[in-house]
Amino acid sequence: MSVYVDDPERTGVSVLPDGRRLGWAEWGPPDGTPVLFCPGAATSRSLNFGAGLLEPLAVRLISVDRPGLGASDPAPGRTLDDWAADVRDFAAARDLPAARLRIAGFSQGTPFALACAARGLGAAVAIVSAGDELAAPCFADALEPEVRDLVRLVTADPERAEASFAGFGSADALWEIIDAGSGEADRAVYRDPGFRPRFRRALAEGFAQGPAGYARDTVLAMSRWPFDPADITVPVDLWYGGLDTSTVHSPDRAATLARRIPTARRHLLPDAGGALLWTHAEPILRRLLTAGTPAG
């Protein structure tokens, strides 16, 4: 058994100016460098990465439930820009340096992390197993047929698409999709006896309020982004595994995304899968901590 994740060390709820609550969890030293984690699809604040590394690297990892997931109040009709505003308010409520946060986004958390950077939050970003702007014209012929049909539905009728995602969305259904779509390298992580129960728990918590939060996230992930990646000015490291078999991750392993973001640096690990957030946490964190930091 490998140790990929730890249970939260601290949990809480912060109240935003409009009265909504955002649930959060933390790991690592309270005085460490704050790293805001934007998790993947429907996984709650309770799932972390970098187990065993946060103390020696002096990282204060903070995971926040997006609206409608876990312990965060819903916000029907929310947008990616709304999420960036929520993070700004959350940072103020927790006395965090919004402009100096390090931000990590995994899979479906990609557009949420990049939205923060595009709106002036964060000093550096790590994107792992990138969820790309699938609705961009450049990917029209690159998507798997089932994914292409979903993207077209979101584009043509986002309300119907959101209802459809809510109709089949559940912790069990999402687990089956992840397990079935994973290659051998990723199944070794997802079925690890120390990882699987925590991952399943995070999914159950993500759907604790029902499927609406997941459905809204998925519509946002499959829509055009409300920001231009070219406007991002902070360092962005894109981490991708050559053995990643997910059909909803970047169709070209973030090659196009790396060209669209002027400050991007792409890392393609040929022997890693989509779960490299956990199998390669150390280089991801070390690079995130030093990106944008002047030498010497």
Does position 295 have pLDDT exceeding 70, yes or no? no
Please give the single-letter amino acid code of residue 57.
Answer: L
Distance (Å, whole) CA 158 – CA 145: 18
Residues 69-125: tens digit of each pLDDT: 999 999 999 999 999 999 999 999 999 999 899 999 999 999 999 999 999 999 999
Nearest to 154 by CA among 174, 131, 132, 134: 134
95: CB partners within 8 A, 6+ apart: none
pLDDT at 18: 97
pLDDT over 90, % of the chain: 96
Between the CA of residue 110 and those of 65, 79, 260, 285, what are the distances in Å? Answer: 14, 14, 14, 16
Neighbour tally for 3: CB within 10 Å: 11
pLDDT at 292: 75
What average pLDDT does range 198-223 have in this prediction?
Answer: 98
Write the DSSP string, 122-183. Answer: -SEEEEES----TTSGGGTTTS-HHHHHHHHHHHH-HHHHHHHHHHH--HHHHHHHHHHH--
What average pLDDT does range 172-200 have in this prediction?
Answer: 95
Neighbour tally for 266: CB within 10 Å: 18
Does position 245 have pLDDT exceeding 90, yes or no? yes
What average pLDDT does range 223-249 have in this prediction?
Answer: 97
pLDDT at 293: 72
pLDDT at 29: 98
pLDDT at 294: 58
pLDDT at 296: 38
The three-state secondary structure class of 59 is strand
Residues 25-72: tens digit of each pLDDT: 999 999 999 999 999 999 999 999 999 999 999 999 999 999 999 999
Cα Rg, the chain, nearest whole Å: 17
Distance (Å, whole) CA 119 – CA 140: 27
Structure-token pair, residue 171: 């912790």
Residue 13 sits at φ, ψ, to 5 deg, of: -135, 130
Superfamily covering domain 10-290: Alpha/Beta hydrolase fold, catalytic domain (3.40.50.1820)
Please give the single-letter amino acid code of residue 231.
Answer: D
pLDDT at 143: 96
Residues 274-283: tens digit of each pLDDT: 999 999 999 9
Mean pLDDT of the residues in the chain: 96
Does position 1 have pLDDT exceeding 90, yes or no? no
